[in-house]
Structure 1
Amino acid sequence: MKLLALESSCDELSIAILDNGKILSNIISSQIERHKEFGGVVPELAARLHLENLDWVISSALKKAKIEIDAIDAIAYTQAPGLIGSLIVGKIIAETIAMYLNKPLIPCDHIQGHIYGASIDNEFVYPVLAMVVSGGHTQIELINSVTDYQIIGQTQDDAIGECYDKVARYLGLPYPGGPEIDRLAASGNSQIYPLPIPKTTQEFDFSYSGLKTAAINLINKIKQKGEEVDINNFAASFQDVAVKTIIQKFDLAIKKYQPKTITVAGGVSANSLIRQEIQRLGNENQVPNIIIPKMEYCTDNAAMIGKLAQELINISK
């Protein structure tokens, strides 16, 4: 079965072609440069750029896959969650292609797509415990099958990626701020600027609003004293606490649920410290399968939606 998958939930438009689960192409149109001047994603602009970039994205995907559009057997797309305008554009594109080809349409969940993106090169052994970290989500999911999953903990306010970007903006770093903080932290001392580890009522829930506020307040205090903020040390101090927050919770979840596979998913799974710490947790807890996604599958992409759709197709046979 040849599948065309489409991802358009935020500021990337991506189309992938898969043949019985094998990825033939995965084309991504990133809008980062267009949103940089605003310090973040502008929803209306993102939706408009999806339409502008559609022609070359779909033609590039088909060309790289070396197939014609008429060879497609099904179309998958991201249904939710995401920016409403971007999701609507993607839905209309997918529906139009499906109607033109008279082929079935498979709506997919964006978060589940991220999780299954980690299994593109490594099949899951269930149960799977997944840490989802992105600009809009921070949660732990227990997955028993592609249709049986449970959110056992999630952020009560800001997501980890959102916290990274807001603190980075306050430090004067360019958008997107997460990768910049990760890069600078590699040369910094994480013990220089003390920041609190956020606490929550529920065992596996998260809160990043307090960390964001504490970081901003500390930056203000330093500047009010007429001192300069050492960017590298501050980045390292902030990242140490931000990552420690999720790792401590994930460690507790591993011990409680005893999964056969652990993985990390979402845009922030590209963070070097998170990848390192997830691997360490898996080793220390003797988890049989530790899956860290390839960098190309961390950020939004259509291959992950195609992988999820293929899994849904497989169980329906």
Structure 2
Amino acid sequence: MLVLGIETSCDETACAVVRDAAEPARRIVSHSLFSQLREHAPYGGVVPEIASRAHIEHLDGLIAESLTAAGVTLVDLDAIAVTAGPGLIGGVMVGLTTAKALAYATGKPLIAVNHLEGHALSVRLSDSVPFPYLLLLVSGGHCQFIVAEGIGQYRRLGTTIDDAAGEAFDKTAKLLGLGYPGGPAIERLARSGDAARFDLPRPLWRKPGCDFSFSGLKTAVRLALESCGDAPTQQDKADLAASFQQAVLDIILDRARNAIALFDGMHGARQKDGTQRHFVAAGGVAANAALRGGLVALAEKHGMAFTAPPLNLCTDNGAMIAWAGLERFRLGLVDTLDAPARARWPLDPDAAAKPFAGAKA
């Protein structure tokens, strides 16, 4: 079975062809990606209109490139999967409209994929992790704990009440003059910094629940930088980068302890069938080495196996959308050509209306 995947939800234009091979290493047949970093770098973040135009300019060529690299044509495909949300609505519409046109022209089934499900299932593309598993989805636009119980079956344990961790990395990098994207730049600079120099806050630290908050941390970084005077040194910036990264790590690990306790309460400290319990991290921020190291140690302490996709599958990519489409197609979950583009699309609709754990009654 061969599925084409198309991803245009933010600033990566990506296509891939995957197959249902038994070995993970043989599943990605081809993958093509155009990164828009250069287009957005002057602005220190993603500009939606620029992103949409770049998708329009590059998507057709990437689809042709991916099919050619796979040695197949549209006729050989079993289905066409595409991100239908959530994301920047202009970009989502570019990919979804293109996929609908291809599906209509070829008579192939269309699979409208939730971008978050693409991230959630990416570990099953690379490692065949069985359900259920605890997922930390941490990226520029999302930060939440999810229990993945099956295809289309997700329970959200907690989410950010303001900004995502990736956004906090980008804004901090901009304050420090490091450019875009902020995550890798902060990580590089933090290696030469003193993480104990600046006493930054840990919002929701040791509070009940699994929700996050990073807005106050960003404000604290700005005030700390101002305290260094009009011309902060490179060492000042390195120390602040290290202090910020450590604060984010502490927040995530604190929330993760609560998430593990909730997961064990739902599924037991040992899986019912005796298989290994899995803690999974996905999303662009999951590529951060310090975060991965902290999560590995935490998972091991609680008797869980830590698993994360390879770095190239942590950031937005076409392979995860193709794979999510393939998993849905196996179950007969296909969509009609009037499938809507969605700026918002929670994996767990029931959780969207619930207040965060620290809210006052």
Q: Normalized against structure 1, the TM-score is what?
A: 0.95
Q: Could you tell me how far apart the structure 2 residues matched to 1:249 and 1:66 are? A: 45
**Does the 8 Å CA contact 1:255/1:285 hold for their aligned counterparts?**
no
* Structure-to-structure mapping, 1:242-261, within 5 angstroms: 242-258=248-264, 260-261=277-278
**Does the 8 Å CA contact 2:14/2:317 hold for their aligned counterparts?**
yes
Aligned: 1:237 with 2:237: no
Aligned: 1:142 with 2:159: no
- The one-letter code of the counterpart of 1:246 is I
State the partner residue of 1:295: 311
- The one-letter code of the counterpart of 2:20 is N
State the partner residue of 1:307: 323
Unaligned segments of structure 1, at least 5 residues:
none
Aligned: 1:209 with 2:225: no
Aligned: 1:114 with 2:119: yes
Could you tell me how far 1:110 is from its partner in structure 2? Answer: 0.6
State the partner residue of 2:297: 280
Could you tell me how far 1:202 is from its partner in structure 2? Answer: 5.2
* Structure-to-structure mapping, 1:82-101, within 5 angstroms: 82-101=87-106
- The one-letter code of the counterpart of 1:112 is E
Which runs of at least 4 in structure 1 moved beyond 6 Å after TM superposition?
none
Q: Normalized against structure 2, the TM-score is what?
A: 0.84
Could you tell me how far 1:141 is from its partner in structure 2? Answer: 0.3
- The one-letter code of the counterpart of 1:303 is A
Q: Could you tell me how far apart the structure 2 residues matched to 1:52 and 1:227 are? A: 41
Greater shift, 118-127 or 7-16, is seen at 118-127
State the partner residue of 2:358: none
State the partner residue of 1:223: 229
**Does the 8 Å CA contact 1:164/1:178 hold for their aligned counterparts?**
yes
Which of 63, 71, 78 is 1:66 aligned to? Answer: 71
State the partner residue of 1:14: 14
Which of 104, 108, 129 is 1:124 aligned to? Answer: 129
Residue by residue, what CA displacement relative to the aligned partner does 1:257-287 show, whole Å, maximum 9, x if unpaired? 1262110011111111111111111111111
**Does the 8 Å CA contact 1:43/1:86 hold for their aligned counterparts?**
yes
**Does the 8 Å CA contact 1:119/1:291 hold for their aligned counterparts?**
no
* Identity over aligned pairs, percent: 38
Could you tell me how far 1:256 is from its partner in structure 2? Answer: 2.9
Could you tell me how far 1:204 is from its partner in structure 2? Answer: 0.8
TM-aligned CA distance change 1:128 to 1:68, over 3 Å = same
**Does the 8 Å CA contact 2:3/2:323 hold for their aligned counterparts?**
no
Could you tell me how far 1:114 is from its partner in structure 2? Answer: 0.8
Aligned: 1:32 with 2:49: no
Computed over aligned residues only, the root mean square deviation of the Cα atoms, in angstroms, reads 1.6
Which of 329, 332, 355 is 1:316 aligned to? Answer: 332
Unaligned segments of structure 2, at least 5 residues:
22-26, 268-276, 334-361
- The one-letter code of the counterpart of 1:307 is W
